[in-house]
């Protein structure tokens, strides 16, 4: 028996609650709450800072340079808010929450 469908948080299409990718818009994590990229606490789009770790939730998009809410995708250019460590041996994909890589500690290129 199929379960109840839930709206995708990006395009509002009705999808299965355990979907990892929206079959309509193609974006990741369409049925999960928005979480702080640093501490993973659920956050709301209207918040300026995370209520647990204090991370500023409005950032400059590393791709288009416009200010956007720190969700999975930029509100303006629609690119995934991830940067890749430039170190050849690391290449860790991560949210742009600091100037240095979360794995190796080397400076990130922006």
- On whether the CB atoms of residues 61 and 52 are closer than 8 A, the answer is no
CA 68 – CA 79 distance, rounded (Å):
11
The domain locations on the chain are 1-32
CA 106 – CA 21 distance, rounded (Å):
31
Q: Give 53's contacts (C-beta < 8 A, 6+ positions apart).
A: 36, 38, 39, 41
- Predicted confidence pLDDT, tens digits, the chain (110 residues): 467 899 999 999 999 988 999 999 999 989 888 999 889 999 999 999 999 999 999 999 989 999 999 988 999 999 999 999 999 899 999 988 888 999 999 998 76
């Amino acid at each position: 028996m199929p379960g109840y469908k839930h709206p995708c948080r990006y395009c509002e299409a009705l999808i299965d609650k355990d979907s990892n990718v929206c079959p309509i818009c193609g974006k990741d994590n369409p049925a999960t709450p928005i979480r702080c990229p640093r501490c993973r606490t659920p956050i709301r789009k209207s918040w300026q800072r995370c209520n647990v770790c204090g991370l500023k939730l409005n950032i400059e998009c590393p791709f288009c340079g416009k200010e956007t809410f720190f969700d999975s995708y930029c509100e303006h250019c629609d690119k995934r808010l991830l940067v890749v460590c430039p170190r050849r041996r690391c290449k860790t994909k991560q949210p742009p929450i600091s100037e240095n890589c979360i794995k190796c500690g080397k400076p990130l290129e922006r």
